[in-house]
Structure 1
Amino acid sequence: MMSWLCGLVGDGIAKSRSPAMHEREARNLGIPLVYRLADTAEWQGGGGALADILEWMERFGFNGTNVTHPYKQAVIPLLDTLSDAARAIGAVNTVVFRDGKRIGHNTDWSGYAANFRRTLPDASLQRVGQVGAGGAAAAVAYALLSMGAARLDLFDVATERAAALGDRLGNLFPEAQVTVATCVADVIAEASGVVQTSPIGMDSHPGTPFSASLLQSRQWFSEVIYFPRETELLAAARVKGCQTVSGIGMAVFQAADAFELFTGLVPDRERMLKEFD
């Protein structure tokens, strides 16, 4: 029987749920799969060891690896080819090692879209405000525009990064209006829904990227962070009466899409979501 060896590259990922998700679903399917972490916080050379980590994985026969913060964009020059979505988004969260090639994919966008449609199928996408413009943010923005968002307003404290993402998305989706704001309140005030895609709120980056007082009960609010399960901002949005989308579904569905790329087998996505812990 064929076996699989997969991994995750990131910084400060010791508490990642990815190993449990992949290995549990493999057991459910009756296949042998081992999923290991390559945490640059513990790796000699730190973030500068990214190229060495990929070489090490290839040498030891990994079938593929996930890539998380802060390497989703930095990994691209180290790859041989990209999927259409990964190229359009400009970020990679899944690398498949096959036939001596490193193939970059992005399952963040498909995972986000699947979770959003499942949770808020009737949510208005007339005008969406998005906070954050990094690797995960690019995937979420791509997903929102692919789902038909008419207008997307972006904000990031790194204004040049937000401007670059806005330009790329505007070219990819000319039928939509994509704008970049220099004040976070401006992307929230008139939005039908708000997406939080920055790392602020993670256990390793505590706090909130903006004040919950900016949110309104008529808006939906979406969070991409899943560790902790409920960020301070997500909890505040619920108290305000907003319809909410947690980051758990995105985490599960992107993992399921990556699992399928690694193994060629179709996981039970609803089972993975039910068993997430």
Structure 2
Amino acid sequence: MSTTGHPLRIGLIGANIGTSLSPALHMREADEHGLVGYRYELIELAEDADPGAAMLAAVADGFDGFNITHPFKQSVMTVLDELSDEARALGAVNTVIVVDGKLFGHNTDHTGFGTALALGLPGAAKGRVTLVGAGGAGSAVAFALAHAGVAHLTIADVLVDRAADLVSRVSAAVPADIRAIGLDQVAPTIEAADGIVNATPIGMVGHPGLPIPTGRLRPSQWVADIIYRPIETELIWTARRSGCRVLDGGQMLVAQAAASFDLFTCRHADVARMRGHLDHLIDRLPAA
């Protein structure tokens, strides 16, 4: 949070974020709180860019805080001065606040997904869950699933070592049966799972397709996606047609955005109001 009393200037750092709804979502909530001059701007980078250098340049230009999105939630950590306990445990940051020139990293994805799961899929079975993706977002989702009481969690990633590292970190924090596999081993776990979560970029604008084989989805399963643009990814569309309960990425977006807004402003965001505004924004988008 800015301590200078000037209107807050927040940035979103990521690649391929030109269609992000976060600026409108944050600034609408700021208006509801009477925060005059609150600005939320996109800082779009190439996927191979240095997010730390971009962040430091933005701080010098007067930014008071940042949200971090794909693919920089881990690489940006090298320039931060301090980390919250959750960000350190997750090994990923999605929120940075600037206080007296120092950068403090937080992770609101963890609580964001936990809140989304509880509100969007109440009573969802948590015996066996397969999580696809062990990057920055996947780390947050894995911790959230473990804290939510998942008994047997399988984490699949194209990089098995990355999945194994995440298993080690989650297991050290939360007692649960967790294992790592490669994406080539994911099909049997999908068939056996109570729930499946996509935490990869596959399915978002610019990354079309399905992150998992969906031919054997059953109506008794639930499927969640953290992607919100489009709000109905191919995975969510396919799962719904298969009779599964589904959780779209808008739920997590709003929950983590509200928590970030709280950190930026020291005001309490209204999650239900923000979801209503997100739905309004989505309804106004041009047809694909």
Match of 1:83 in 2: 84
2:11 corresponds in structure 1 to 7
Q: Quick check: 1:226 aligned with 2:198?
A: no
Match in the other structure for 2:31: 27
**Could you tell me whether the CA contact under 8 Å between 2:231 and 2:249 is conserved in 1?**
yes
Q: Which residue in the other structure is 1:237 paired with?
A: 239
Secondary structure of 1:128's match? strand
**Unaligned ranges ≥5, structure 1:** none
Distance in 1 between residues matched to 2:179 and 2:236, nearest whole Å: 24
Query: Match of 2:32, as an amino acid?
Result: N
TM-superposition CA deviations, 1:211-233 (whole Å, max 9, x none)? 21132211111111000110111
Superposition pairs for residues 2-151 of structure 1, below 5 Å? 2-32=6-36, 33-41=38-46, 47-151=48-152
After superposition, the C-alpha distances for 1:129-162 in whole angstroms (9 at most, x for unaligned) are 1111111011001111111111111111111211
What CA deviation, in whole Å up to 9, does each residue of 1:74-97 have, x standing for no partner? 011110111111111110000011
Number of corresponding residues: 272
In the TM superposition, residue 181 of structure 1 has moved relative to its aligned partner by 2.2
Secondary structure of the residue aligned to 1:137 is helix
| CA distance in 2: counterparts of 1:185 and 1:50, whole angstroms | 35
Helix, strand or coil for the counterpart of 2:12? strand
- The CA distance in 1 between the partners of 2:70 and 2:27, in whole Å, is 21
Contact kept in structure 1, 2:52 and 2:75, CA below 8 Å: no
TM-score (norm 1): 0.95
* Partner Cα separation in structure 1 for residue 195 and residue 225 of structure 2: 11
CA distance, structure 1, for counterparts of residue 56 and residue 200 of structure 2: 29
CA contact under 8 A between 2:134 and 2:157: conserved in structure 1?
Answer: yes
Shift of 1:59: 1.2
Deviation at 1:2, TM superposition (A): 4.4
Distance 2:189 2:156 in 1: 7
SS in 1 for 2:192: coil
Which portions of structure 1, spanning 4 or more consecutive aligned residues, are displaced by more than 6 angstroms? none
Instruction: Provide the rounded CA distance (Å) in 2 between the counterparts of 1:56 and 1:102.
Output: 13
Question: Contact 2:52/2:78 (CA < 8 Å) preserved in 1?
Answer: no
Q: Answer with 21-30 or 56-65: which moved more.
A: 56-65
- Give the AA of the match of 1:89: L
Identity %: 43
SS at 2:39 equivalent: strand
- Aligned residues of 1:9 and 1:39 also touching (Cα < 8 A): yes
RMSD: 1.3
**Partner residue in 2 for 1:161:** 162
Q: Who is 1:191 aligned against? A: 193
TM-score, normalization: structure 2? 0.91
